[in-house]
Every structure is written in structure tokens, then in C-alpha cells.
Amino acid sequence: MPADLNPSEMVAARRPATRAMLYVVLGILGLFFLAPLAVMVLTSLRPIEEIRSAGIIGIPQTLTLDAWRAAWSQACIAAVCEGLQPYFRNSLVIAIPATLLSTLLGAINGYALTKFRFPGADAIMVLIILGCFLPLQAVLIPAAQTLSALGLANSIYGLILIYTVYGLPFTTLFFRNYYVGVPSEIVRAAHMDGAGFWRIFFQIMVPISWPIAMVSVVFQFTGIWNEFLFGVSFTTGASQTVTVALNNLVNTTFGVKQYNLDMAASLIAALPVLIVYLFVGRFFVRGLTAGSIKG
């Protein structure tokens, strides 16, 4: 580097090398974190005979989708040979309404706690925040008693209720922190013009809430889809979720461990979460950033 460059020119001259080094480091880290996924995909495409002879890690000599077909519709889970398909459907039926309900109710709670102040609002907010730190194990027995009293034990509807209620503290906190940054003058002006609670919410607050709504949807959907404890505790048989079915499948003995089947089943179970992050991941990051700035 020439010695007659001033400090600003020296910094500019170093930038390409610094950027290149950064890309190299990020590339190495990316390969490191993607390696397990690559092994899973390659293993799921190999016949079991090849895995037994050449080992679990290796480049496929023969590509086959037999393990995927078996994991989806042929594998035996708890003596029922239907694969993951019915349990995958159960998780969709549970995760989608529970995510939408908890997001909508969280938005209403956050709106009420920030723009329509009432006595005890701060105490309620403290209790809601405490709910975010409540471990799943602490609510198993009360939840089981509640579902039994409501006649929803061992049912998909019971899990929808459980996931909706358990997610409310998180979604309420998301929307509350986001709505704090919305000028209260807008709400007061609309109220003076005759708009009520619900009209203000649906016509003013909801249209500007999509960034934090995406955060809530992604957070709730991934959490509900990947959750295992509630699924294994409150459902049995045909009403179980895909994570419970995956656990049963992986721990089922077929004489010799079928790694290709296990890998294919794991990828099928993880596919919705991967799709969600692939298509709306950037909105998730954008929503978190908007919430942090406004909060």
C-alpha cells in the first residue's frame, strides 16, 4: 500500500480485502451449518443396502425415493402402516388455526393495553410477561384437567386450545411493544370522529401491523409445529402430531436400523418450517427490526 495515502484512502483501500475475508468466513460457517442437512438429504436418497455396505456418510451411488415414499405413506407407526401422512395433516390442522387465533388475540390484547388504558393494565402486562417464562411442564396437569372438564381430551381441538392460550403471552408482548410506537394521537382523533374500539382496531391498527404480525405468525407456527411435549401428553393414536409420530417411527425397531427412512421422515417433518422461513424469513427479520426501533 502506498505510503502517501491519507487515512480515509487507506481505509477505502482495505475495504475490498476486508469484505472478501468476511465472505470467506461466512461461507465457511454456512457450509458448517449446512453439512448435517446435506448428510440427511443424501442419506435419504440412498438405498439401505448401500448404507449398510458403505456407511451412513457418503455420496449416493444409486438415487432412489423409496425411503421418502415409505416415510410418507408406508412406514408402520404404532402398528398402523400409514406413514407420516395422517399425522402431518393433524399438525397442519392444529398449527394453522392456533397460529392465527393466537396472533389475532395477541394483537387485540396489545392494542387494548397500549391505546385503551384501564385500571390494572400494568399489572396485567406483568402477569403476561411472566407467562412467557412459564415452562411447559408447569402447566401439564392444569391443562390436562381443563381439557378433561371441557371434553376436549385426546383431541385435535384440545391441542388447538392449548397452543393458542400458551402462545398468547408471546403474541401479546410482540404487539404491545409494536403498538407503543404508534402515535396515540391517531387513535384519539379517530375516537373523536366517532370510531369505536373495533373500528379503530380493524381499520387503523391492523393495516399497519403486518411487520409484527409476520413475526408472530412465524414464531407461533414454528413453535407449534416443532412442539413435542403437549402433543405426546394430550393425544394418542390417530390424533397425534407429526413430531410424536416421527419419534415413534425413529424408535421403532425393524431388525436393522433404516437410516434412510429416518432421514426422509425427519426431512418431511421439517419441511413446512423450512418453507415458512424460506418465503417469509425476510419479513420475520424486518418485523423484528421494526419492533425494536419502535419499542
Tens of pLDDT, residues 153-197? 889 999 999 999 999 999 999 999 899 888 888 888 888 888 888
Please tell me the predicted confidence (pLDDT) of residue 5.
Answer: 52
Q: Where are the domains of the chain?
A: 7-74, 86-294
Quick one: which of 216, 233, 235 has its CA closest to 93? Answer: 235
Residue 75 confidence (pLDDT) above 80: no
The SS3 of residue 80 is strand
Nearest 5°: CA angle at 288, between 15 and 188? 130
Average of per-residue pLDDT values in the chain: 86
Contacting residues for 234 by C-beta, under 8 A, at least 6 apart: 143, 144, 147, 153, 154, 158, 159, 162
In which band, very low, low, confident or very high, does the pLDDT at 295 lie, cut at 50, 70 and 90?
very low
> DSSP state, 2?
-
Please state, for a pLDDT cut of 70, what percent of the chain lies above it. 90
Residue 281 in grid coordinates: 424469513
> Among all chains, which residue has been given the C-alpha cell 412467557?
132
Please tell me the predicted confidence (pLDDT) of residue 122.
Answer: 85
pLDDT per position as a tens digit, 87-143: 999 999 999 999 999 999 999 999 999 988 788 888 888 898 888 888 888 889 999
Contacting residues for 166 by C-beta, under 8 A, at least 6 apart: 136, 139, 230
Residue 3 exposed, middle or buried by CB count within 10 Å (0-12, 13-18, 19+): exposed
pLDDT per position as a tens digit, 192-231: 888 888 999 999 999 999 989 999 999 999 999 999 999 9
Q: How many helices (H) and strands (E) does the chain have?
A: 13, 0
pLDDT per position as a tens digit, 100-114: 999 999 999 999 999
Please tell me the predicted confidence (pLDDT) of residue 293.
Answer: 47
Residue 2 confidence (pLDDT) above 80: no
Q: Which residues of 51-86 are buried (b: 16+ CB within 10 A; e: fewer)?
A: beeeeeeeebeeeeebbbebbbeebebeeeeebbbb
Average pLDDT for 239-265:
84
Topology (CATH) of 86-294:
MetI-like fold (1.10.3720)
Residue 38 confidence (pLDDT) above 80: yes
- Looking at the DSSP bridge assignments, the partners of residue 9 are none
Please tell me the predicted confidence (pLDDT) of residue 294.
Answer: 46
Q: Residues 137, 229: contact at Cβ < 8 Å?
A: yes
Please tell me the predicted confidence (pLDDT) of residue 3.
Answer: 53
Average pLDDT for 257-274:
90
